[in-house]
Amino acid sequence: MPFISILLELFIGFFALFFITKLLGKTQFAQITPFDFISALILGEMVGNAIFDPEVKIQHILFAVAVWGILIYTVEWFSQRFKGIRAFLEGRPTLVIDQGKIHYNRLKKNMLDLNQLQTLIRAKGHFALNEIEYAILETDGSVSVLPKMKYATATAEDVNVKGKEVKLPRTFIIDGEILKDDLQEAGFDETWLSEQLKRQHISSYRDVLFCEWIENEGIYAMKYEKSKKHS
């Protein structure tokens, strides 16, 4: 009976993958590195193909999952004991914002653009890049941030400090291009933006890597580094 056979294979494949995942530890859930992603993809594909291939028996599924699981476990074991292997398989964290300065080449090297960086920063509760003193791109693709002192989370000693209304930052320039819709929605035009840039000794918006505006605080603009703009 094909349905009974598929049912058995599904159950066995499910519990086999569950066992392998438990064996490899909780880091498989908390931190997905490129190696972990490939491993999970191949394991799932292996079981999925085997289930719907009538020529593949249950013992074949178990054998394939067991061999692949042993290989993954062995590599993980070696990576825990040899830092060189660990760095090769999992990569290294990358400092993408250092003392408030965006390292554009490091972003490009990790295939990360400014829009993606903004998204990751917002996920940490900060809506302006200008609030960040340090940001580290982790090996699992997330970002860890250390905000500037005045933007850090208030402590018990700060409870008596009078708060102020929160303003949403608006991005006006990314990679030397003006975001015209955002500029117009904020009630400004390119002439106004040019004047604001000139006040910061920036002659052209094409020289700007990133520019954002916060009400009552003005604009924050960061120029390209000359050596990196043309790289």
**Cβ neighbours, 10 Å, residue 30:** 8
Q: Which positions ≥6 away from 52 have C-beta within 8 Å?
A: 6
Going by C-alpha positions, the residue among 137, 35, 136, 38 that lies closest to residue 90 is 35
pLDDT computed for residue 1 by the predictor: 52
Tokens of 115: 């829009």
pLDDT computed for residue 29 by the predictor: 46
User: What's at 229, amino acid-wise?
Assistant: K
pLDDT computed for residue 209 by the predictor: 92
How far is residue 163's CA from residue 86's CA, in Å, rounded to a whole number? 45
Going by C-alpha positions, the residue among 108, 144, 102 that lies closest to residue 126 is 144
Question: Which residues of the chain are under the pLDDT cut of 70?
Answer: 1-3, 5-7, 9-10, 12-14, 16-18, 20-40, 42-44, 46-54, 56-58, 61, 83-91, 154-166, 226-231
How far is residue 171's CA from residue 86's CA, in Å, rounded to a whole number? 38
pLDDT tens string 17-76: 667 666 655 444 445 555 666 666 766 676 666 666 667 666 776 777 777 777 777 877
pLDDT computed for residue 81 by the predictor: 74
pLDDT computed for residue 63 by the predictor: 77
Please compute Rg for the chain using Cα positions.
Answer: 25
pLDDT tens string 57-69: 667 767 777 777 7
Q: Which positions ≥6 away from 40 have C-beta within 8 Å?
A: 28, 32
pLDDT computed for residue 135 by the predictor: 92
Contact criterion met (CB below 8 Å) for 127 and 217: no
Which domains does the chain show, CATH number per domain?
2-89 (no CATH), 92-153 (3.30.240.20), 163-231 (3.30.240.20)
Going by C-alpha positions, the residue among 6, 7, 17 that lies closest to residue 46 is 17
pLDDT computed for residue 27 by the predictor: 45
pTM across the whole model: 0.58
Cα–Cα distances (Å) from 204 to 29, 151, 192, 198, in that order, read 46, 30, 13, 8
Find the angle CA(33)-CA(82)-CA(32) to the nearest 5 degrees.
Answer: 10
Q: Which positions ≥6 away from 184 have C-beta within 8 Å?
A: none
pLDDT computed for residue 205 by the predictor: 92
